[in-house]
Amino acid sequence: MGCRTVSANANAALAELTSWDSNWKGLRVLVAGLGLSGFSAADTLIELGAVVTVLDGRDDELNQQRGETLMIVGAHQVLLGAEHVTHLPQVQDQQPQLVLASPGWNPRHPVIAEATEAGIPVWSDIELAWRVQNRAGRTAPKWLAITGTNGKTTTVGMTEAILQAAGLKAIAVGNVGTPILDAVREPVDYDVFAVELSSFQLHYTHSISPVASVVLNIAEDHVDWHDGFENYKADKAKIYERTQIAAIFNVADEVTLDMVENAEVIEGCRAIGFTTNTPSVSMVGVVEDLLVDRAFIEDRRTNAVELIALKDIGEIVPRHTAANAAAAAALTRAFGVQPEAVHRGLSGFDAGAHRIQAVARRDDILWINDSKATNPHAADASLAAFTKVVWIAGGLSKGVDYHELVAKHAARLRTVLLIGTDIQGLREALAEHAPKVEVIDITAAVHDETGTLPSGAQVMARAVHTAGKLAQAGDTVLMAPAAASMDQFSSYAQRGNAFISAVSDLMDSGSTDQNSDD
């Protein structure tokens, strides 16, 4: 009862912390996690005058360097190592009044669970940023908020590009690029933030009120972190709460419309759809090869305004890329951006590496790196873009199901080359829905030859070499793993770079010649 009373008092105090100029001095805060967002949050809280203890289970060189930096600027304590993350530590010999959780710390982690049981609020860096962006003498930026299972980074990049093309001081922050608290502390009066939000961040975020928000799509992902798909969806839906102008949903994904209909938005907020088909009233969509707006014009019942021809976005514009462009257009049009700026921002947009990235073409064989396809929903978008595929797939499955994905695309598959160490679910789906497709376990093959567990680079090199021997004219060799990378690589970027390097070596060797005896 005593802990609960203390926590109730702490909660009341936290409710008053709504700006940079609020009284943060002496607030006891535990920052759980010393990654980019955790470091940024700890640094911000120290600057605000809070008493900050930082906790991370990894005692490696990078964390030691970050910890030393935080101690220099005034952290109360930095605790590194697995022995420190089994329980909720005290701050200045008392319970913390606030826990700030990095995205990797799920609600069942002993530290987070103990804090929740004690009634201690748990925030994300996003929640902190929303509060401290309000500062005397400065105008807080408006927020355009973006989440979804896939397409977040592309859409936030498109949104940033459109806003900047409109002459606005805008930056992409959150789950991509610049940590949001770093942007808040920059001596720049930003007009608007394009905020990418993961389900992890949304779980610990409680009070943001964006101008416009969108859930791009929903598919099974991160079910282990959220302890179930329903919890995952519920956290994604939080992005619509308190939206001011436009709650934007995916016409092709009814779940996102349900989220909008059940959200407590600001009075007057409109539900706006985006689609890759012909848009109805209050939608942004595609007519023939044109992206058009029927939502943010006066005569929307009888007319539409052209935004951009899809061919002006890029040489290859798969359906999901067009959907991302429509979502970005809807967000920025809700903010008042003119059609000409949408066109300038999207023209020739570069989605960056590792997202349906063409890395080579030889002998009428296209080699595509989509290492960012870390779940079945993302891989579905990649597979749908090509007719005949040699598919390099597999990795850390995160507990997802592959049956629907394989059943949908079995007819496209010439061969499947499995990489990774957690491929049983994918193998079972292939056996059931694509029994005639050749499946080769590359990791096992290299292991059998060497007698040791191969590195990710070794596996990728063998997969690419094998693909070069099996692919035929007109095929696409698609590396879209439908799984996370951490079983054999440090990140999806490292995995993608390994693919690019292996393809480059293959091109240099000339061994893609189908008449070769190799």
Consult the annotation and say whether 151 binds a ligand.
yes
Known binding residue 152? Answer is yes
Length of the chain, please? 518
Which residues lie below 8 Å from residue 300, measured CB to CB, with a gap of 6+?
281, 282, 294
Tokens of 195: 């905020």
Could you tell me which of 181, 194, 108 has the C-alpha nearest to residue 146?
A: 194
Residue whose entry in the numeric block shows the structure tokens 């030889």: 362
Residue 469 annotated as binding site: no
How far, rounded to the nearest angstrom, does the alpha carbon of residue 182 sit from its chain's CA centroid? 19
How big is the chain by its Cα radius of gyration, in Å? Answer: 24
User: Token pair of 123, please?
Assistant: 């925030």
* 365-369/357-362 β-pairing: antiparallel
49 close to 26: Cβ distance less than 8 angstroms: yes
Strands of 246-250's sheet in order across? 170-174, 192-196, 142-147, 212-215, 246-250, 270-274, 283-287, 290-293, 305-309
Amino acid at 212: A
- Go through 235-248 and write b for each residue having 16 or more CB atoms within 10 A of its CB, e for each that does not: bbbbbbbbbbbbbb
pLDDT value, residue 44: 98
| Pairing of β 51-56 and β 77-80 | parallel
Taking CA atoms, 427 is separated from 81, 333, 374, 415, 440, in Å, by 37, 44, 17, 13, 10
CA separation for the pair 297, 299 (Å, rounded)? 6
Contacts of 329 (CB under 8 A, 6+ apart): 162, 274, 284, 291, 293, 307, 342, 346
State the pLDDT at residue 10. Answer: 62
What local confidence, expressed as pLDDT, does residue 314 receive? 81
Per-residue confidence (pLDDT) for residue 1, from 0 to 100: 38
Cβ atoms of residues 192 and 335 within 8 Å: yes
150 is in an annotated binding site: yes
Q: What are the chain's domains?
A: 2-123 (3.40.50.720), 133-346 (3.40.1190.10), 357-509 (3.90.190.20)
Residues of the chain with pLDDT under 50: 1-6, 512-518
Those residues whose C-beta lies under 8 Å from the C-beta of residue 515, and which sit 6 or more positions away, are: none
Provide the token pair at 351: 């989605």
User: CB within 8 A of 17, min separation 6: which ones?
Assistant: 23, 24, 27, 131
pLDDT tens track for 12-66: 779 899 999 999 999 999 999 999 999 999 999 999 999 999 999 999 999 999 9
What is the reported pLDDT for 318?
81
